[in-house]
Amino acid sequence: PKPKQQTNVSTIEIMSGNFQADGSITAAGKGEVCVVSATKNAQFRKLKNVPANTICFDCPNVRPTWASVTYGVFLCLDCSASHRQMGVHITFVRSLDLDEWTQRQIDAMRIGGNDNAKKFFRKHGCTDLKTKTDKKYTSKAAVAYRAELAKLVEAEAVKRGEGAAAAAEGGASSLLDNADAIMKKNVADEARTKLDAARANGGVSSAGTL
């Protein structure tokens, strides 16, 4: 009889990105064990019922089935394709239904959400949210927002006994307030740098100079 063909776990891992050598399921690119599908689906049922999350963050399409984990926003299929073109260093997209998710990734969607992102981007000059260009996601506001969201997600992991304890500092504060503070600091640092450069080039006179 023909010998039974063995499954090559390494091949599966390369193809899907969701399996480790020991057979445990992971999220692609993260190397972490994903939550079981029933747990994932139960959490997303609640999140998808939030009014702001029922409309794609980047366009008027309803019932989005994809998401940018980086910003915690819900997207339609078309806009998820635009995000993939920007690259994972800008935005990491997942399917709500088809992909496996880690608890950290689900926390990003819960802590973030379309409403928080909308308020923050509008406050910091992005008035046209329904755009599919990468300008919105490469802005200074985007950098500040995703950094603070990542910090709060890590703080939630610490509460579960994961991650580094130092990451929990400031985790209880508001996402929007903390991201605002980052933006204000960045603006102040930029203004100070420009002033120092102007002084160095003789553009600003020192007190008492004739």
- Coil, strand or helix at 186: helix
Ranges of residues in the chain with a pLDDT under 50 are 2-17, 24-25, 28-30, 166-172, 205-210
Torsion of CA 110, 111, 112, 115, to 10 degrees: 80
pTM for this prediction? 0.70
The pLDDT score that the predictor gives to residue 75 is: 96
The pLDDT score that the predictor gives to residue 205 is: 47
What separation in angstroms does the CA of 175 have from each of 23, 29, 82?
36, 25, 26
The pLDDT score that the predictor gives to residue 107 is: 95
| C-alpha to C-alpha distance for 44 and 128, rounded to whole angstroms | 27
Asked if residue 113 lies in contact with residue 55, where contact means CB atoms within 8 angstroms, the answer is no
What's the pLDDT tens digit per position in 166-187?
444 444 357 766 666 677 666 6
Residue closest to 51 by CA, chosen among 42, 62, 40, 39 = 62
Q: For residue 78, give both structure tokens.
A: 């078309």
The pLDDT score that the predictor gives to residue 202 is: 72
Asked if residue 58 lies in contact with residue 131, where contact means CB atoms within 8 angstroms, the answer is yes
The pLDDT score that the predictor gives to residue 180 is: 63
Contacts of 135 (CB under 8 A, 6+ apart): none
Buried/exposed 149-185: b ≥16 CB within 10 Å, e otherwise = bbbbbbbbbbeeeebeeebbeebeeebeebbbebbee
Burial group, residue 110, by CB count within 10 angstroms (0-12, 13-18, 19+): middle
The amino acid present at 106, given as its one-letter code, is: I
Residue 21: how many CB atoms within 10 A of its CB? 9
The pLDDT score that the predictor gives to residue 127 is: 72
